[in-house]
Amino acid sequence: MKNSRPLRARSLRRQRGQTARAATRVTEHNTDSGSEPDRANRWPLAYNVATELHRSMQANFNAYVWWYIRRGYGLITDDGLVSKRGYLMSQFSRFIRPGYVRVAASDPAVEDVNATAYSNGAGSVVVVVLNQADVEQTVALDLFGSCVTGFDRFTTSELKNAQSDGPVALVEGRVEVTLDPRSVTTFVSQPPAAAN
């Protein structure tokens, strides 16, 4: 045909006239849903949820939804108990609540350690740190120009399930912390009067 235009791939965004800043959604995805019972508690297999969640937040996703809640590979296992995957996801969802936004955070200068940070106004900060190494790692948390003076610390690892590891006090906006091997640790800012 003389007047036909060549076929070109057009993105769904472009077809709908949306800008590049329009929301992107992934509606179906599963990292590992084998048929074995209690798969969600296998370590370090369950840890994949934490790394995927972290990468999603770094890519500016505005939501992460786990479709099947109660399954052998889900956040709650067939017996109704929270799985290791559920505890790992709670390191984000329990503390990063509606109204929080992701803020700039640099990964610590330690191999296999990654961080994201979130805020809901002055003095309200949540920092989620992944230690993907099989050994403890010590990192520095630096909060430049913040009024935060301390954090409550929660860890999920092979041996812990969103366990409170006690308060962490900052000195001049800085503190060094040791992270459990292959763990997710969430630091939740304390109200200024509560920090010691």
Give one DSSP letter per residue of 6-31, joined into a string.
PP----HHHHTT--TTS--------S
Burial 64-88 (b: 16+ CB within 10 A, else e): eebeeeebbbbbbbeeeebbbbbbb
Return the pLDDT at 27.
54
pLDDT at 5 over 50: no
Q: 167 near 150, Cβ under 8 Å? A: yes
Give the CA-trace dihedral at 14, 16, 21, 22, to 10 degrees: -140
Q: Cα(194)–Cα(190) distance, rounded to whole angstroms?
A: 6
Give the 3-state DSSP-derived string for 131-171, with helices as H, strands as E and coil as C.
Answer: ECCCCCEEEEEECCCCCCCEEEEEEECCCCCCEEEEEEECE
Task: Tell me the pTM.
Answer: 0.81
Q: Cα(31)–Cα(45) distance, rounded to whole angstroms?
A: 10
Return the pLDDT at 25.
56
pLDDT (tens digit, 9 = 90+) per residue, 84-139?
999 999 999 999 998 999 998 888 889 999 999 999 987 789 999 999 999 999 99
Q: 27 near 63, Cβ under 8 Å? A: no
pLDDT (tens digit, 9 = 90+) per residue, 35-85?
666 778 888 888 988 998 898 888 888 778 877 788 888 899 888 999 999
Q: Cα(91)–Cα(186) distance, rounded to whole angstroms?
A: 6
Higher pLDDT, 107 or 153: 153
Ramachandran assignment for 87, one of left (phi > 0), alpha (psi -120 to 50 degrees), beta (any other): alpha
Return the pLDDT at 107.
84
Write down the CATH number for the domain with range 12-189.
Answer: 2.60.40.1180
pLDDT (tens digit, 9 = 90+) per residue, 31-45?
565 666 677 888 888
Q: Cα(185)–Cα(179) distance, rounded to whole angstroms?
A: 7
Taken in order 144, 150, 152, 154, is the CA torsion positive or negative? Answer: positive
